[in-house]
Each structure stands twice: as C-alpha cells, then as structure tokens.
Amino acid sequence: METSSRNIYQRLFAYAAPYKWRIALSMLASVGVAGTDAAVAKFVEPFIDRIIVQGDLGLAKMVPFFVIILATFKGGSRYIQEYFIRTAGQLAIQDIRNRMFEHSMRLSVRFFARHSAGNLMSRLLNDVNMVQTTLSNILVTLFKESLTLIALTAVAFYTDWQMTLAAFVVIPLTVYPASVIGKRIKKFSRRGQGAMGDLTSSLEQAFTGIKVIKSFATEGMEVDDFKRQNLSYYRLVRKQLKYAAGSSPIVELLSSLGAAAALWFGLDRVMSGEMTQGQLFSVLTAITLMYMPLKHLVKVNNVIQRALGAAERMFEVLDEEIEIADQPEAVELSRCKGSVSFERVNFAYEDEPVLQDFSAEIRAGEVVALVGPSGAGKTTLIGLLSRFYDPGSGVVRIDGHDIRNLSQKSLHQNLALVDQETFLFNDSIRGNIRYGCPDATDEEVIEAARKAYADEFIRQLPEGYETTIGDRGVRLSGGQRQRLCIARALLRDAPILLLDEATSALDTESEAMVQQALGNLMRDRTTIVIAHRLSTVIHADRILVLQDGRVCQSGTHQQLLEQGGLYKRLYDIQFNE
C-alpha cells in the first residue's frame, strides 16, 4: 500500500510539474506567512518585558504600526500563496481530465461494455474534483504548515529549550492515531467514490430512459432505488466524517497535555528566577501557535487520504490498456475500391463464442446481405470490420490490407455506418448531419437530407436545420431519427456502406422512400446489409445466411428459396405473418 501511495504521489506531482513556477512562487509566499507567525511569537517577549513590566511608552506607541505591517505582509503573502497554488491545481486538473477523456476515447468498445457510462462519468468528474483538493493544497499546506511549525519550534527552543522540550514530548504521540485515522478515511473514501459512481449511473439511466419509465409507470420503483443507493452513499460518507471528526479532538487533547506540562514547568522556572515573564509568554505563544499547524497537518492528511482513494480509481482508467491501437507503422488507406474479406475469423465475447472459423469474400461494389437468427454473429461482423474489436484469430481485409495494419482514422474514413441504435447528439439537425463530414457545405447537408427523405420534415420544424433535437434526438420520432442517421451516412460518401437494421424504425411509407434512396447510394459502393425483415434484402447481389457463427447458405434470394433450408424457413415464417 505504501508503494502504491508513493506511486500515486509521483504521478500527481508529474501533472503539477509543468506549473512548477506557480508552485514555487506560492511556496515562497508561504515562507512569508510562516515567518509572520514566528515573528508574532518572538515579539511577545519584548512586549511583556519592556512594555508591560518596564512601562516603555515609546515602544508601546510603535506596537500598532508593527501590527499593521505584519498583517499587511501576511495578507499579501497569503493572497499570492492561495492564488498561484489554486491556479496551478486547476491547470493540472484540467490536464488530468483532458488526458482521461482522450484515453477513454481510445479504449475499445469492449471496455465500455464492461463499465457503465455513469461510473465513468463519476471517475472523470467526481474523482478528479476530489484529487483537485490534493493538487491545490498538499504542496503549499504541507510546506507552509511545516515551515510554521519549524519556525515556531525554533523560537520556542531559542527562548527556553527546557520548557519547550516538555511541550514537545506529546507531538510524536499524535502520529499513530493520525496514521490509523488516515487509512480508515482512505478505505471508506474509495468505497464512497464507487457508490457515487453507482448513483451517477442510476441518474444517467433514469434520465435517458425516462420514456420507458413513464410508459411502465415505474417512477416509484426508480425513486425507491435511487433513495436506496443515496442512503448507501451517505453511510459511507458518514464513516469518513466520523473518523475525520475524531482526529481534531485527539490532537487537541494531546496538545493540551503538552501545553499544561510546559505551563507548569515554566511557572516554576519564572518563580525560581531562571526565566523572565516575557520569555514565559513568548514560549507559551510559540507553543500555542505551534499546535495549530500540527492540527492542520492532521486534517490535511485526512484530505490526502480521501484524494488517494479517488486517485486510485482515476488512474485505473488511465492505466487501462488500449486494446485497439494503431501499429507503429500503420498504413494510411486512401479511398479504397471496397473489396472485403473475412479469413477464418474466430471471435468471442469473454468466454461466449460468436464466430467460428468464419470466412467470406465480398467484391468491390457488391451488395451483400447478412441474415440469420439473433445471436448468429451478424452485428459482430460489422463490429470487426469497423475494428471495434479485433478477432481472436483470423484476418479481416479491405483491398487485401489486414485492417490491423491500417490507421484507424483512415479505416473509418472509408466506412459509413447506419446502426440499428440510432444515436444523435444534443445539437442542431445541421450539426448532426454534418458530424461525420465537418467541412461539408450547407448545400451538401441539404442534399443529403433530401436523399434520405428528411428535408421535408426538417423544414416543417420551427427552426428548420438549426433546430436542437435534445439528448439522443428525443424531440424527433423514431423514423425521423433514423432518416437523419441515413443522411449523415449519405454525406459521408464512403466507399463501404454498413447498414445494420437501417430501416427498422421506419413506417411502411418512409421505408419505401428510404429504400429508394439507399438503392441510389449503394450504386458503385460495397454495401453490407443486416436485416431481419427479408423483404428489405431480396434485391441484394448475394445473401449470406448465418447460423452459430458460420455461413450455412449463400446465394441470391431466388437461389436460396430453391435450396430450402434455414433461409426458406425464415422467409416462410415472415411471409405467413
């Protein structure tokens, strides 16, 4: 655990390193703050001996000026310290958050299948914010309070080392309880951050699935579930607060024992004439002020332990291995001809086999349909071609190139995907259509919408193409969302078109229009179509029938009907329906 914590410190400091001059200036200002506290303790001696005891009125008149000067100097130093360390912390946090998001975007689809969106959002937002406290405070607080402790200790020992030693005995006794409390806080902080991730995930699902919740009238169930998770989070936070609240009383109790011992010993020395009254009060002031940074250091340790728990969760994401990555000498694929081949491909989700020794050749410009029962591996083939996953064994090629040797950017520039899960951004309609082709002109966007038979309904909206459609296009019907996705793919103008149930959300009239548009789009392009409704693929050049991860039949619609088998059974079932 020690090595782990040390490693986390090193990594956090590495993010703070680019802003070392801000941190250095803040630390320099901390010296001024610590020096002011030491000066106050030292000036108590002449204040008592020369003003109170001897009645030096000349020096008494100077006291207000000393107070103003010290307060001004300390205030200016504290301002510089706070401003520069907090801006350095914010900049470092900005870098961490950017790095986490960038790294997350490079992780495979498999990673996102294992982790909920809410949990990842919690790590990117809540955990990083928790770490920010450490980056903003750990360096300067430790430096300032340590300097203050050292300066006050020096003043106290210089004034009377014997009396100071009596007070100093209790300080080592605070180390053990502080260490135990810190470990407890770290443990419950990590679990609390995990509970916050679950809470965020619950919120994300409730808000995005509000139509389902409303339609099934399960609002009460969702509220009860949220309350249960919220209570679980509170219980973990309560344990953190319990240990954090116990640290200050323990330090104060031990501090009072040390102060009492020093006072008893000091009064005895004053009465015996071994020290002056001014020296007594100077040492007492230094000791009293000395316990303040000690309590602050214990509290800072509690904050650090909470941040370490959050940092561990944060670095778990950053340490996640990038499964799908470009080769060191990845080939940049220009506009391809469009031939695709799968050569003895095997693939499994975790331990569940999906494709087994799958092979298929698709010629450039050919329209190939993939049909078969659910779970046969149709969508998986699209995912492998898009390189959302890499096969367990075998090769996927485009124009003879192993796609693992191509840069991912150039690969996806040659693919246009219309998925069965229509996803649109909370942006304008124009922005959504232009998403895959940001340099497209307004005229090109409108033309793509026309070909997808979306232009008519878009112009009927209050703001036309500038209409913001809400999260996931919630303001549009299913058919309208699907047509916008098709328009986005049309504008992409890629040589390989991937249609995964692309017309599943359309009514009969819209489907007829879009099928006509897709027919024009498919011309001179390689097209892979997945469809459960066989009526949408009867005009394909070739139909591959999949079962248990293998091709069990291949041919045109008419040839497959004549062959009988699985395709004929599927067709008869749908025709009868």
Q: What is the separation of C-alpha 466 from the centre of its chain, rounded to a whole number of angstroms?
A: 30
Q: 120: closest CA among 318, 325, 389, 383?
A: 318
| Dihedral, 142, 143, 147, 153 alpha carbons, nearest 10 | 20
Note the CATH number of domain 340-576: 3.40.50.300
User: What does the block give as tokens for 416?
Assistant: 């246009």
User: In the predicted model, what is the mean pLDDT of residues 568-572?
Assistant: 84
Query: For the chain, what are the domain ranges?
Result: 2-318, 340-576
Q: Is the pLDDT of residue 184 over 60?
A: yes
Report the pLDDT value the prediction gives residue 169, as an integer from 0 to 100: 63
Q: 160: closest CA among 326, 315, 279?
A: 279
Cα-based angle 24, 25, 27 (whole degrees, multiple of 5): 65
pLDDT in tens, 313-323: 888 888 888 88
Q: 488: closest CA among 523, 528, 438?
A: 438
Q: What is the separation of C-alpha 387 from the centre of its chain, rounded to a whole number of angstroms?
A: 23
pLDDT in tens, 436-479: 788 888 898 888 888 887 888 888 888 888 888 766 666 677 77
pLDDT in tens, 257-266: 666 766 676 6
Report how far residue 468's alpha carbon sits from residue 473's, in angstroms, rounded to the nearest whole number. 8
- Residues in Cβ contact with 56 at an 8 Å cutoff, skipping those fewer than 6 apart: 50
User: What does the block give as tokens for 223?
Assistant: 């509220």
Report the pLDDT value the prediction gives residue 343, as an integer from 0 to 100: 92
Radius of gyration of the chain, Cα coordinates, nearest whole angstrom: 35
1 confidence band (pLDDT: 50, 70, 90): very low
Q: 240: closest CA among 327, 337, 165, 130?
A: 130
pTM over 0.95: no
Note the CATH number of domain 2-318: 1.20.1560.10
User: What does the block give as tokens for 364?
Assistant: 């450039």
Report how far residue 560's alpha carbon sits from residue 208's, in angstroms, rounded to the nearest whole number. 42
End-to-end CA distance of the chain: 64
pLDDT in tens, 21-59: 888 888 888 778 777 776 766 666 666 666 666 666 666
pLDDT in tens, 487-540: 888 888 889 988 887 666 566 666 676 677 667 667 778 989 887 777 778 888
Residue 568 buriedness (CB in 10 A; 0-12 / 13-18 / 19+): middle
For residue 138, which amino acid is it? Answer: I
> What CA–CA distances, in Å, run from 546 to 159, 369, 380, 552, 565?
90, 10, 12, 6, 12
> What CA–CA distances, in Å, run from 328 to 109, 332, 384, 408, 554?
21, 12, 21, 12, 38
Report the pLDDT value the prediction gives residue 181, as an integer from 0 to 100: 67
341 confidence band (pLDDT: 50, 70, 90): very high
Report the pLDDT value the prediction gives residue 398, as an integer from 0 to 100: 92
Q: Is the pLDDT of residue 241 over 80?
A: no
Residue pair 306/186 in contact (Cβ under 8 Å)? The answer is yes
Q: Is the pLDDT of residue 3 over 50?
A: no
Report the pLDDT value the prediction gives residue 135, as an integer from 0 to 100: 63
Q: Phi and psi for 378 in degrees, rounded to 5? A: -65, -55
Q: What is the separation of C-alpha 375 from the centre of its chain, rounded to a whole number of angstroms?
A: 32
User: What does the block give as tokens for 59?
Assistant: 């020096």
Instruction: Label the pairing between strands 526-530 and 542-547.
Output: unpaired
3-class DSSP assignment, residue 277:
helix
Place of tokens 């009465």: 271
How would you list the strands of the sheet with 352-362, edge to edge? 352-362, 340-349, 393-398, 401-402
Report the pLDDT value the prediction gives residue 396, as an integer from 0 to 100: 93
Q: What is the separation of C-alpha 568 from the centre of its chain, rounded to a whole number of angstroms?
A: 49
For residue 545, which amino acid is it? Answer: V
pLDDT in tens, 57-90: 666 677 677 778 877 888 888 888 878 887 887 8
Report the pLDDT value the prediction gives residue 402, as an integer from 0 to 100: 92
> What CA–CA distances, in Å, run from 497 to 225, 390, 447, 503, 521?
42, 20, 18, 14, 9
Average pLDDT over the chain, rounded to whole? 77
119-133, 346-360, 471-485, range with greatest mean pLDDT: 346-360
Looking at the chain, the whole-number percentage of residues with pLDDT higher than 70 is 69
Cα-based angle 518, 491, 508 (whole degrees, multiple of 5): 30
Q: Phi and psi for 398 in degrees, rounded to 5? A: -125, 125
